[in-house]
Amino acid sequence: MRASRSLGAIAMAALAMGVSLQACAHNTKPARDISSQKMTTAPMKPGGSGIAVQYRIDGTPESGSAVPVVLSFDGITDPAGGTVKLRPDGGLAITGSSGPYTLPAGRTSTLTVQVVPDADGIGYLHVFTTQNGATSATSITVQVGKEPSTLPASSGLKQTPGGDKILSMPVK
């Protein structure tokens, strides 16, 4: 009996997450149907804010050109709501406000921010969510240009005449 109630609660929560609601913060666009557009779910850490963060980069980031980053927030249970602050790093700039934005309790909120990379490479958009006095951080990677090349695979562990094992790696 308890299992069927738990399963019902999980099904209701999944249904609620799939429903797009209007954005809550000023300077945001209304929520689009995010269920048809692939979003990346950020990992949640125990003891954090408990706010689920999903994100998507719309378009191909180019140096000097704004690219939209769509953020979705869910799991706001504090009756006072939650907040989100944004901080660019590694050559990114945010056009417009970096927050704080208010997230209403019991609703999914969507926020679209424009970031401008200043050069090729990797930049980060740090997203800080807070509710019930706990804060979580999510870092979104914005890659401009080619992905950095990976090192060739090593040949594995080698053993010295003395029996020590060595992992040899190429140096760049």
| Average of per-residue pLDDT across 125-138 | 95
pLDDT in tens, 80-89: 999 999 999 9
Domain 9-148: give its CATH superfamily.
Immunoglobulins (2.60.40.10)
pLDDT in tens, 20-57: 333 333 334 444 444 457 999 999 988 899 999 999 99
Query: With 50 as the cut, is the pLDDT of residue 4 above it?
Result: no
Of 83 and 169, the structure prediction assigns the larger pLDDT to 83
Whole-number pLDDT of residue 150: 60
Query: With 70 as the cut, is the pLDDT of residue 120 above it?
Result: yes
Mean pLDDT score across all residues of the chain: 79
Query: With 80 as the cut, is the pLDDT of residue 130 above it?
Result: yes
Shortest CA distance to 86 belongs to which of 59, 58, 114, 106?
Answer: 114
Other CB atoms within 10 Å distance of the CB of residue 133: 7
Whole-number pLDDT of residue 155: 59
| Average of per-residue pLDDT across 131-155 | 80
Rounded to two decimals, what is the model's pTM? 0.65
E-state strands within the chain: 40-41, 52-57, 67-74, 82-89, 92-95, 101-103, 109-117, 121-131, 134-144, 157-159, 165-167
Of 121 and 27, the structure prediction assigns the larger pLDDT to 121
Query: With 80 as the cut, is the pLDDT of residue 59 above it?
Result: yes
Hunting for tokens 């490479």 — which residue is that?
121
80-84, long-range: CB < 8 A, 24+ apart = 80/105, 80/131, 81/105, 81/131, 82/49, 82/51, 82/129, 82/130, 82/131, 83/129, 83/130, 83/131, 84/25, 84/51, 84/111, 84/127, 84/128, 84/129, 84/130
pLDDT in tens, 99-117: 899 999 999 999 999 999 9
For the chain, what percent of residues have pLDDT higher than 90?
52
